[in-house]
Structure formats: C-alpha cells, structure tokens
Chain A
Amino acid sequence: QVQLQESGPGLVKPSQTLSLTCTVSGGSISSGGYYWSWIRQHPGKGLEWIGYIYYSGSTYYNPSLKSRVTISVDTSKNQFSLKLSSVTAADTAVYYCASQRVSSGYYGYWGQGTLVTVSS
C-alpha cells in the first residue's frame, strides 16, 4: 500500500518561497507508471491542480502557476518536492501530494494534506 506524507513549514511570509516535500513509502518513485503530483485546495474551495513530475524528471505545470512553480524529484530519498515562489495570501491553501496513474489519469493515493498559510 503506497502512502504519501507532506512536510514543510505551515507559515510562509508574503513574497517568499513556499517549499514542501512529499515522502513516498510502500512503493518506489523510480518504478514508473505514476506522475507524482501536487494539488491544492483553498479554504472552503475546490481542488486545483498544480503540476506533476515523472521519475525521469519530466514536469508539467498548471499554466496559471507555471511561472512560479518548480517540482523536483529525489529518487534516492523516494521524495518529490514543490517550490512556489513569490507567494501571496492567495496561495494560502491545503496542499496535497498525490500519485496519478499515467495510463488512466486518476489519483489513487493521496497524502493527508498540509495547510500552508501565507502571512506576515
């Protein structure tokens, strides 16, 4: 059973960079077959796709966030990470990491989510 766990600061100051890491257990990122993804949910709102990375390092980002997002992978640690630069209060959200099946597009495994608040 694959499990994902987000970690990182819960409070980030405006204009700084939000950094989160997702640790995968019960499966190897390097095994292929999955896009390792970040999704966020603003308080009381719907889900927003941020982007994903394949184990090879190929990335795809939401066009609306592309200029500020970087997703990277560390296969040796079985982790992947999110960096979102120049944050504002509008980036306050619960951030989820999830695995997306390449062939079918569904998110079968999710982390529990971590709330990141942007405030001075």
Chain B
Amino acid sequence: QSALTQPASVSGSPGQSITISCTGTSSDVGSYNLVSWYQQHPGKAPKLMIYEGSKRPSGVSNRFSGSKSGNTASLTISGLQAEDEADYYCCSYAGSNVVFGGGTKLTVL
C-alpha cells in the first residue's frame, strides 16, 4: 500500500482560506467514506479534526471542513489564524489496512 499524496506545504495569510488535498486510489479514499484529518503541532500527538470525510468532532472549530470527490479528499481551513500553523495528515481506511498521507506543513504568513 502506498501513502496518500498530500502537498508538502501550503501557506496563507490570517483570515484567508486554504485547502489541502489528499489523493489516494479506488482501493482506499475512493472506496470508503472513512477519511480523517489530523492536526499536529511540534512535539505533540496528532489531534483529530475531521472524520468520515466531513464530520467535525465536538470542540473542533467550524472553520475546519472536509470533503471528498472520487479518489481525492480535501481539508479546508477558513479564516486562518496563527494557531492553525501545524502539520496536517489525512488518513483513510483501506479494507483491513490503514494508510496515512505524507503530511502537509501549513504556514500562516
């Protein structure tokens, strides 16, 4: 199984919106509506931000949203804030396996 493909980095200014893509295959992202997204600050454990493609856990800001089209899932962060600067990872269930994306570093300019 190959890692899901994410851009290495994205950036945006405070208040702007950014989108991070996560491209898989018909065996993972395309077959299951079980994509999740995680935020990771340096030295910290990942934090769940989106699950089942577009659902937000309790306590996660509604500035975070998720979607999927075909084999590609996307995470959109609107109204960028300095605290959003972190690494973001997508993850997909793939049958009995699990596959992560390579991660995207978000820089808030």
Name A residues whose Cβ lies closer than 8 Å to a Cβ of B: 37, 39, 45-49, 52, 60, 62-64, 96, 100-101, 104-108, 110-113
Q: Are A106 and B98 in contact, CB atoms less than 8 angstroms apart?
A: no
Taken together as a complex, chains A and B put the C-alpha atoms of A39 and B99 apart, in Å, by 11
Taken together as a complex, chains A and B put the C-alpha atoms of A96 and B46 apart, in Å, by 9
Taken together as a complex, chains A and B put the C-alpha atoms of A107 and B48 apart, in Å, by 7
Q: Which listed residue, B38, B46, B93, touches A105 by the CB 8 Å rule?
A: B93
Tell me which residues across on chain B come within 8 A of A63, comparing CB atoms: 1, 97
Name B residues whose Cβ lies closer than 8 Å to a Cβ of A: 1, 3, 32, 34, 36, 38, 45-48, 51-52, 57, 89, 91-93, 96-103
Q: Contacts A47-B103, A96-B45, A113-B45 hold; do A106 and B52 have CB atoms under 8 A apart?
A: yes
Tell me which residues across on chain A come within 8 A of B34, comparing CB atoms: 104-106
Tell me which residues across on chain A come within 8 A of B45, comparing CB atoms: 96, 110-113
Tell me which residues across on chain A come within 8 A of B101, comparing CB atoms: 46
Q: Are A46 and B91 in contact, CB atoms less than 8 angstroms apart?
A: no
A97 to chain B, nearest CB (A): 10
Q: Are A60 and B48 in contact, CB atoms less than 8 angstroms apart?
A: no
Q: Are A46 and B103 in contact, CB atoms less than 8 angstroms apart?
A: yes
Q: Are A106 and B36 in contact, CB atoms less than 8 angstroms apart?
A: yes
Q: Are B89 and A105 in contact, CB atoms less than 8 angstroms apart?
A: no
Q: Are A47 and B46 in contact, CB atoms less than 8 angstroms apart?
A: yes
Given contacts A47-B103, A52-B98, A106-B52, 15 further A-B contacts (CB under 8 A): A47-B100, A49-B99, A63-B1, A64-B1, A100-B98, A104-B36, A104-B52, A105-B34, A105-B36, A105-B52, A105-B92, A106-B51, A108-B51, A110-B47, A112-B45
Q: Contacts A105-B34, A107-B38, A113-B45 hold; do A46 and B93 have CB atoms under 8 A apart?
A: no
Q: Which listed residue, A45, A96, A107, A111, touches B36 by the CB 8 Å rule?
A: A107
The residue in chain A whose Cβ has the minimal distance to the Cβ of B55 is A104
Tell me which residues across on chain A come within 8 A of B51, comparing CB atoms: 101, 104-106, 108
